[in-house]
A = this chain, B = another copy of it.
Amino acid sequence: MAHTSARPPQKPTPDSSRRSEKSRRAIYAAALTLVTEVGYPKTTIEGIAARAGVGKQTIYRWWSSKADVLLEAFIDLSAQTAEATARPEVVGKQSPYEIPDTGDLEADLKLVLRAMVDELLDPAFEAPSRALAAEGVVNEQVGREFVGKLLEPQLQQYVKRLRAAQEQGAVRTDIDPRIALELFVSPLAQRWLQFTGPISYEYTDKLVEYALYGLAPRGPAAR
Find out whether the CB atom of A186 lies under 8 angstroms from the CB atom of B175: no
Residue-wise, chain A 26-46 has the 8 Å CB interface mask toward B (1 for contact) of: 000000000000011100000
Stretch at the interface among A7-15, A80-88, A116-124, A203-211: A203-211
Find out whether the CB atom of B213 lies under 8 angstroms from the CB atom of A211: no
Contact of A183 among B134, B139, B172, B207 (CB under 8 A): B207
Which B residues are in CB contact (< 8 Å) with A137?
A: 130, 133-134, 137, 193-194
A interface, how many residues as a size bin?
A: 35 or more
Find out whether the CB atom of A170 lies under 8 angstroms from the CB atom of B211: no
Residue-wise, chain A 164-178 has the 8 Å CB interface mask toward B (1 for contact) of: 000001111001101
Which B residues are in CB contact (< 8 Å) with A212?
A: 214-216
Find out whether the CB atom of A214 lies under 8 angstroms from the CB atom of B214: yes
Stretch at the interface among A16-24, A47-55, A90-98, A146-154: A146-154
Q: Say whether A89 faces chain B, with CB atoms less than 8 Å apart.
A: no
The residue in chain B whose Cβ has the minimal distance to the Cβ of A206 is B179
Find out whether the CB atom of B183 lies under 8 angstroms from the CB atom of A215: yes
Please measure, in the bound complex, the distance between the C-alpha atom of A143 and the C-alpha atom of B180, giving whole angstroms: 28
Find out whether the CB atom of A215 lies under 8 angstroms from the CB atom of B171: yes
Q: Say whether A61 faces chain B, with CB atoms less than 8 Å apart.
A: no
Find out whether the CB atom of A151 lies under 8 angstroms from the CB atom of B214: no
Please measure, in the bound complex, the distance between the C-alpha atom of A151 and the C-alpha atom of B130, giving whole angstroms: 20
Find out whether the CB atom of B195 lies under 8 angstroms from the CB atom of A136: yes
Residue-wise, chain A 183-199 has the 8 Å CB interface mask toward B (1 for contact) of: 10011011101111100
Shortest C-beta distance, A80 to chain B (Å), equals: 24
List A residues at the B interface (Cβ < 8 Å): 39-41, 130-131, 133-140, 143-144, 146-147, 151-152, 155, 162, 169-172, 175-176, 178-180, 182-183, 186-187, 189-191, 193-197, 203, 206-207, 210-218, 220, 223
Provide 20 A-B residue pairs closer than 8 Å at the C-beta atoms, listed in order of the A residue.
A40-B138, A133-B137, A133-B194, A134-B135, A134-B138, A136-B195, A137-B193, A137-B194, A147-B194, A175-B210, A179-B206, A180-B210, A183-B183, A189-B190, A190-B190, A210-B211, A211-B215, A213-B216, A214-B215, A218-B218
